[in-house]
Amino acid sequence: MSVKKVMIVGAGQMGSGIAQVFAQSGFQVILNDVTEDALNKGKASIEKILTKDVTKGKITEEDKSKALNNLSLSGNIADAASCDLVVEAIVENMDVKTKVFQELDRVTPPHAILASNTSSLPITEIAAVTNRPEKVIGMHFMNPVPVMKLVEIIRGLQTTDETYETVAETAERLNKTSVEVNDFPGFAANRILLPMINEAIYAVYEGVASPEDIDTVMKLGMNHPMGPLQLADFIGLDTCLYIMEVLHDGLGDSKYRPCPLLRKYVKAGWLGKKSGRGFYEYT
């Protein structure tokens, strides 16, 4: 099956980024969200990034126009009835996601593949609430989506080879590099990244060094483009805590125990860049 028309459910930072790369790659894209405000913000974000790319000479004005012409907005999930692929990019909450997948299962054509951009939740469990578990898969994009080349493709227990191959081919058409990952808590990226971030937070908690010095060690000593604590602030400390809890609960190993300092910051509302304060302050 060749994918031609796609719906992205969720017009936040990830959803709008995913919609942009699909539209720029020649797919017909419907960006869906429950509120008009979210849709308008999502589209404005896409237009802003494309305009910057024109200014920098990365794309032409014609490229920008083509991408925007490929994009439409929708407040009705039933508009997925004409789509070959749906990518869900909403809040990391299993109850909310499964409700959306049940609705998508009801409104999409039988051939449609249902993908989740979840960064940690089990694809097998999401697939089980549908009548097409063989056509449910994880398609985990990295943030910011237009820049980052990687897509983790996560096979649930029931995902067929045909579904995987279609999604891998689609990722290639987006000019992304995909990796095949089996359905374990945190997949590959976050199973490796988040414990490193959590350990950096423990180093602050135990007084090993300041956040600035820990980040400097990782940038200059390990050649990381961004230190783990700055990265945690960009991801959102609430998201970091949530993923560590998924790893701890799913794998049952004490090495994944979230650092108490991470819990304290989240309880204080210090969530990182989005709240103005995390391990660093943002104006």
**SS3 per-residue string spanning the chain:** CCCCEEEEECCCHHHHHHHHHHHHCCCEEEEECCCHHHHHHHHHHHHHHHHHHHHCCCCCHHHHHHHHHCEEEECCHHHHHHCCEEEECCCCCHHHHHHHHHHHHHHCCCCCEEEECCCCCCHHHHHCCCCCHHHEEEEEECCCCCCCCEEEEEECCCCCHHHHHHHHHHHHHCCCEEEEEECCCCCCHHHHHHHHHHHHHHHHHCCCCCHHHHHHHHHHHCCCCCCHHHHHHHHCHHHHHHHHHHHHHHHCCHHHCCCHHHHHHHHHCCCEHHHCECCCECC
- Look up 134 and say whether it is catalytic: no
- Look up 248 and say whether it is catalytic: no
Does 236 show up as a binding residue in the annotation?
no
Does 52 show up as a binding residue in the annotation?
no
Does 143 show up as a binding residue in the annotation?
yes
Task: Write down the catalytic residue from 116, 120, 152, 178.
Answer: 152
Does 10 show up as a binding residue in the annotation?
yes
Task: Write down the catalytic residue from 119, 120, 178, 198.
Answer: 119
Does 250 show up as a binding residue in the annotation?
no
- Look up 190 and say whether it is catalytic: yes
Does 14 show up as a binding residue in the annotation?
yes
- Look up 119 and say whether it is catalytic: yes
Does 11 show up as a binding residue in the annotation?
yes
Does 274 show up as a binding residue in the annotation?
yes
Task: Write down the catalytic residue from 32, 45, 88, 140.
Answer: 140
Going by the annotation, the residues of the binding site are 10-15, 33, 92, 97, 119, 143, 274
Catalytic residues: 119, 140, 152, 190
Going by the annotation, the residues of the binding site for NAD(+) are 10-15, 33, 92, 97, 119, 143, 274
